[in-house]
Structure 1
Amino acid sequence: MPTIKDVAKHANVSVATVSRVLNENGYVNEDTREKVLESINKLDYQPNELARTLYTRRSRMIGLIVPDITNPFFPELARAVEDVTNAKNYTFILCNSDDQVLKEKNYIDVLRKKYVDGFIIVTSTLTNDHLEGINTPVVALDRNFEPDIPCVSADNYHGAKLAVEHLHNIGCKKIAHVAGPEFVMNAQHRLRGYLDMVADKPFFSEDLVVNGDYHLQNAKEATMNLLKAHPDIDGIFVGNDLMAVGVLKAAETLAIKVPDQLSIVGFDGITLGETTSPALTTIAQPIYDMGAKATNLLMDMIEGKPVEETEYTFPVQLVERESAKKGMMLSE
């Protein structure tokens, strides 16, 4: 197997020149660069990536930490991260944290030892204190992190209001909410959007809000108890699409017809919502665009480019399918 010395000899240059070409570090005139690359190609030289990483302290790898890989929302985000990293000759490592701060800290510590170049983190538990002394670039995705860490997310508050407004406009008289975990910021924003739309309505009471923890089975059980306690509920805004599937299952178990008796609107816009029966009306986030934006932003930070903004909020849109009634739009 040819070595870097063989390449240098073949190209009639120094080993240091070959190293500068390989690491894209330092000046090499174009003729010399082409000569070195030609020798590398002819000799089929394969650089020692481990040695390069140790020398440059750069791995061309980034870490993506997500809280629940079983939620289809996160694989859809990961696909965007993969596409962008591959296009820029990077790779990424996907880490599932289960929203546990110790797992998140451990992933960060392990990957830093492997000279990972940056992190995209979806977290509701880490704080700046946990990242003290870490000079590796970090971008927060889907959930706000700390004010000085760039964040890419969707307009969760407006999306929640849009969902409740739609349920009201199609004639729903008693609208409930299946919320995400209380400690997750995007769940808090979606809950606040719901409350701001219904708090002054005659039907509203605090027990119309139940927690599904962003899990299908938890949402199903919470919804069954909710509908048994309030059989006159005719509309539910659900904090994410995975929980909305649980709400559909709860209605099916209780023999409640969707959308004739109960209209359901989810949040996320994951592909799963197109496959349910009935298909899920939802507030769609631009999931791929959010993942791509976070990755490109991280790449800029790795390359030392200035970050002009620290918060990027993507708009959302209502996608009407079959889980909510159709009807004439009614005025407020």
Structure 2
Amino acid sequence: MATIKDVSKLAGVSVATVSRFLNKNGYVSKEAAQAITEVIEKLNYRPNNIARSLAGKKTATVALMVPDILNPFFPEIARAVEDAAHEIGYTVMLCNTDNDADKEAKYIETLIQKQIDGLIISSYTIKPEQVVNLQKHSIPVVLMDNAFPGQDIVSLLSDNRGGGRLATQHLIASGCRKIGHICGPMHITSSRERTLGYEEAYKQTGQFMPSLITYSDFTVKGGYDSMIGLLDSHPDLDGVFASNDLMAAGAVKALIERGINVPADVKVIGFDGIHMEMMVPELSTIAQPIYEIGKTAMNYVVALINQEPIDKKSRLFAVELIEKQSTKR
């Protein structure tokens, strides 16, 4: 295996020059950079990241922490993060927490010990003090789909409240008069905001009542169980807005099992915009720009690693209504 000394010898430059070139730290002439690049390709040289880490250098590795890898939203995020990382020579370590706070805490401790360069977190159980602790260990953090107001933490969020309004307004415009809402966990920022958007839009019709909201857990089973509960309480429902696409899929399953036609009898819309073409009927949804969010998260965490300025500590992404069969007139 080629070493940095082999590269410096063949390129005719010092080891320090090769090090500055590899770490992008300090001046390297164009001639030296070209010579080093040619030798690296010839020798197929790869920096020893473990040695660089022990020496206090960056390892070009970031971690992505997600709460549920079985939710198609998060593999799409992971794909975007990994694509962006590959473009700039970074490696991504995936940490799936299963919405388990203890598992999440163990991951964080391990990442601190491994001196990870940075961390992208999409979590429903993370606490602000955990993020602050990571920052104290010089590990930059970018939050996705969550925020801690008042904390100096970079956060990427979609327009969840606006999306909740848009979903509800779409159901109203499609002829729905009695609209139920399957809400996600209320301790999650995005879930609360989507519910607020539903309430703001539906209260304008004068038909809103608190019992039309049921609470679930962002899973297909949760959506199914909540839909059964809504039908038992409000058998005359003609519209449902679920706070994510998985719960919407569960709601459609429950409706079909009850012999209720979707969309002729009850129209259903979800939130996220994940790929669910296999569903019949195909699901209308409020789509987040999932790929753009993931790519932005990677670019932001690398900027923090390199101590580069970021234009906004909190960024809000626009959402889009995707109308498909489940809400057609």
TM-score when normalising by structure 1 = 0.91
Query: What is residue 120 of structure 2 aligned with on the other side?
Result: 120
Return the letter of the residue paired with 1:310: K
Query: What is residue 94 of structure 1 aligned with on the other side?
Result: 94
How big is the shift at 1:112? 2.4
Q: Secondary structure at the match of 1:177?
A: strand
Q: Does 1:171 align with 2:175?
A: yes
How big is the shift at 1:305? 1.1
* Alpha carbons of structure 1 residues 83 and 36: separation in structure 2 relative to 1, 3 Å: closer
Encode CA deviations 1:208-233: one digit per residue, 9 max, x unaligned: 11122101012101211211221100
Q: Secondary structure at the match of 2:326?
A: coil
Q: Secondary structure at the match of 2:70?
A: coil
CA distance in 1, matches of 2:272, 2:41: 47
Query: What is residue 290 of structure 2 aligned with on the other side?
Result: 287
Question: For the aligned residues, what is the CA RMSD?
Answer: 1.9
Encode CA deviations 1:128-167: one digit per residue, 9 max, x unaligned: 3223223211111112235321111110101111111111
Structure 1 unmatched runs, 5+: 327-332
Query: What is residue 162 of structure 2 aligned with on the other side?
Result: 158
Query: What is residue 271 of structure 2 aligned with on the other side?
Result: 267
Q: Does 1:308 align with 2:328?
A: no
Q: Does 1:236 align with 2:240?
A: yes
Percent of paired sites with the same residue: 42
Q: Secondary structure at the match of 2:201?
A: helix
* Alpha carbons of structure 1 residues 208 and 26: separation in structure 2 relative to 1, 3 Å: same
CA distance in 1, matches of 2:299, 2:44: 32
Query: What is residue 180 of structure 1 aligned with on the other side?
Result: 184
Return the letter of the residue paired with 1:215: T
How big is the shift at 1:248? 0.6
Return the letter of the residue paired with 1:26: G
Q: Secondary structure at the match of 1:9?
A: helix
Query: What is residue 53 of structure 1 aligned with on the other side?
Result: 53
* Alpha carbons of structure 1 residues 84 and 44: separation in structure 2 relative to 1, 3 Å: closer
How big is the shift at 1:113? 2.1
Query: What is residue 226 of structure 1 aligned with on the other side?
Result: 230
Query: What is residue 218 of structure 2 aligned with on the other side?
Result: 214
Structure 2 unmatched runs, 5+: none
How big is the shift at 1:200? 5.7
Query: What is residue 330 of structure 1 aligned with on the other side?
Result: none
Q: Secondary structure at the match of 2:92?
A: strand
How big is the shift at 1:194? 1.2
Q: Does 1:137 align with 2:105?
A: no
- Contact 1:176/1:233 (<8 A) preserved: yes
How big is the shift at 1:21? 3.2
How big is the shift at 1:12? 4.0
Q: Does 1:258 align with 2:262?
A: yes
How big is the shift at 1:201? 4.5
Return the letter of the residue paired with 2:147: N
Q: Secondary structure at the match of 2:95?
A: strand
Q: Structure 1 segments of 4 or more deviating over 6 A?
A: none
* Worse overlay, 111-120 or 122-131: 122-131
* Worse overlay, 216-225 or 193-202: 193-202
How big is the shift at 1:32? 3.1
CA distance in 2, matches of 1:38, 1:315: 44
CA distance in 2, matches of 1:20, 1:150: 29
